[in-house]
């Protein structure tokens, strides 16, 4: 089984590139973030034609997550249990989507497509919301493992956190900014304390995001903010990881690139 995560930054704008990636990479499951559309607006026909079933969670032209799968989807969750809201009145945004898949060997694997809040600025309410979002996700993730220590679960997506200094091109450019603050990094690392393993770090080195502004991509001034956390039962099955940097090239590219995981069973 091979799965990938990709912040596509508008699926309606980039559907042709996404389908081409699926056909080229032979990925079985693709978790997408920032689809920027409702289920009714999602361009589902090309996915169906390519042999994928799609679960979609989008409320408007912002945020939104989806998962395309060649494996049977047996369960869909459009938020995690304690997912907090933002704004007044508070709205539980379309930032999390979990699907349970049944493989050929009848093993079930749950994949969560996550679009963690950006945080905006350190003194912005969105930053407090981001930290609360990650705390609540961790609490729910703890409950998943407590209920079934053998559960095969992957939490994948755009975490909007650069855990290490090496994950940004220049730490001085992030002085007083989000993504690299200590509370954000602690919130990210907390999952490892509970037994989750980030399975890309030891297998591949590259950035996963380059801003459209200031020629960031040609200068390779990027960030590594897209990750895959695997449960204790799933992590040993990971045999390879890849960051497809080439997807940032050419016309109509997303500002993120796919992160691909291969499982040996």
Domain ranges of the chain: 2-263
Cα-trace Rg, the chain: 17
The arithmetic mean of pLDDT across residues 80-102, rounded, is 97
- What is the distance between the alpha carbons of residues 31 and 63, in angstroms, rounded to a whole number? 14
**Is residue 105's pLDDT more than 90?**
no
Average pLDDT, the chain: 97
**Is residue 93's pLDDT more than 90?**
yes
Say what the pLDDT of residue 63 is.
97
The Cα-based distances of 189 to 138, 164, 174, 250 in angstroms read 10, 10, 19, 34
Say what the pLDDT of residue 7 is.
98
Coil, strand, or helix at residue 113?
A: strand
Cβ partners under 8 Å of residue 84, min gap 6: 90, 92, 129, 132, 133, 136
- pLDDT tens-digit readout, 190-225: 999 999 999 999 999 999 999 999 999 999 999 999
**Is residue 104's pLDDT more than 90?**
no
Calculate what percentage of the chain has a pLDDT beyond 70. 100
The arithmetic mean of pLDDT across residues 108-118, rounded, is 98
**Is residue 265's pLDDT more than 90?**
no
Coil, strand, or helix at residue 177?
A: coil
Catalytic, 179? Answer no
Q: Which pLDDT band, with edges at 50, 70 and 90, does 53 fall under?
A: very high
> Which one, of 244, 252, 243, 213, lies nearest residue 12 by Cα?
252
Q: Which pLDDT band, with edges at 50, 70 and 90, does 247 fall under?
A: very high
- What is the distance between the alpha carbons of residues 196 and 52, in angstroms, rounded to a whole number? 28
How deeply is 68 buried, as exposed, middle or buried, from its count of CB atoms within 10 A (0-12, 13-18, 19+)? buried
Binding residues, by number, are 7, 34, 158, 160, 255-256
Q: Which pLDDT band, with edges at 50, 70 and 90, does 20 fall under?
A: very high
Cβ partners under 8 Å of residue 181, min gap 6: 122
pTM of the predicted model, to two decimals? 0.98
Q: Which pLDDT band, with edges at 50, 70 and 90, does 176 fall under?
A: very high
Tally Cβ neighbours within 10 Å of residue 77. Answer: 15
Q: Which pLDDT band, with edges at 50, 70 and 90, does 8 fall under?
A: very high
Active-site residue, selected from the candidate residues 52, 115, 127, 129: 115
Say what the pLDDT of residue 16 is.
98
Say what the pLDDT of residue 106 is.
81
- What is the distance between the alpha carbons of residues 151 and 85, in angstroms, rounded to a whole number? 27
**Is residue 66's pLDDT more than 90?**
yes
Catalytic, 124? Answer no
Say what the pLDDT of residue 72 is.
97
Calculate what percentage of the chain has a pLDDT beyond 90. 98
Catalytic, 256? Answer yes
Active-site residue, selected from the candidate residues 28, 158, 167, 226: 158
Binding residues for Mg(2+), by number, are 7, 34, 158, 160, 255-256
Say what the pLDDT of residue 32 is.
99
Tally Cβ neighbours within 10 Å of residue 193. Answer: 10
Q: Which pLDDT band, with edges at 50, 70 and 90, does 103 fall under?
A: confident
Pick the CATH number of 2-263 from 1.10.3720.10, 3.40.50.2300, 3.60.10.10, 3.20.10.10: 3.60.10.10
Say what the pLDDT of residue 199 is.
98
- What is the distance between the alpha carbons of residues 11 and 18, in angstroms, rounded to a whole number? 8
> Which one, of 217, 213, 223, lies nearest residue 246 by Cα?
217
């Amino acid at each position: 089984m091979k799965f990938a995560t990709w912040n596509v930054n508008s699926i309606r704008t980039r559907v042709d590139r996404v389908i081409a990636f699926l056909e080229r990479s032979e990925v079985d499951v693709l978790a997408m973030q920032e689809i920027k559309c409702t289920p009714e607006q999602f361009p589902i026909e090309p996915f169906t034609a390519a042999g994928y079933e799609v679960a979609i969670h989008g409320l408007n032209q912002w945020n939104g997550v989806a998962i395309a799968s060649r494996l049977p989807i047996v369960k869909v969750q459009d938020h995690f249990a304690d997912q907090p809201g933002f704004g007044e009145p508070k709205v539980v945004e379309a930032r999390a989507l979990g699907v349970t898949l049944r493989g050929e060997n009848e093993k079930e694997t749950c994949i969560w497509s996550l679009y963690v809040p950006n945080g905006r600025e350190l003194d912005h309410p969105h930053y407090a919301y981001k930290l609360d979002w990650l705390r609540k996700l961790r609490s729910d993730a703890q409950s998943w493992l407590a209920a079934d220590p053998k559960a095969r679960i992957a939490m994948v997506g755009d975490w909007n956190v650069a855990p290490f200094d090496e994950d940004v091109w220049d730490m001085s450019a992030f002085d007083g900014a989000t993504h690299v603050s200590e509370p954000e990094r602690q919130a990210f690392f907390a999952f490892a304390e509970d037994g989750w393993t980030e399975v890309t770090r030891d297998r591949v080195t590259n950035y996963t995001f380059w801003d459209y502004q200031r020629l960031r991509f040609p200068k390779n001034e990027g960030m590594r903010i897209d990750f895959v956390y695997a449960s204790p039962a799933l992590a040993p099955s990971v045999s390879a990881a890849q960051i497809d940097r080439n997807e940032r090239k050419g016309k109509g590219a997303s500002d993120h690139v796919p992160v691909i995981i291969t499982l040996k069973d």
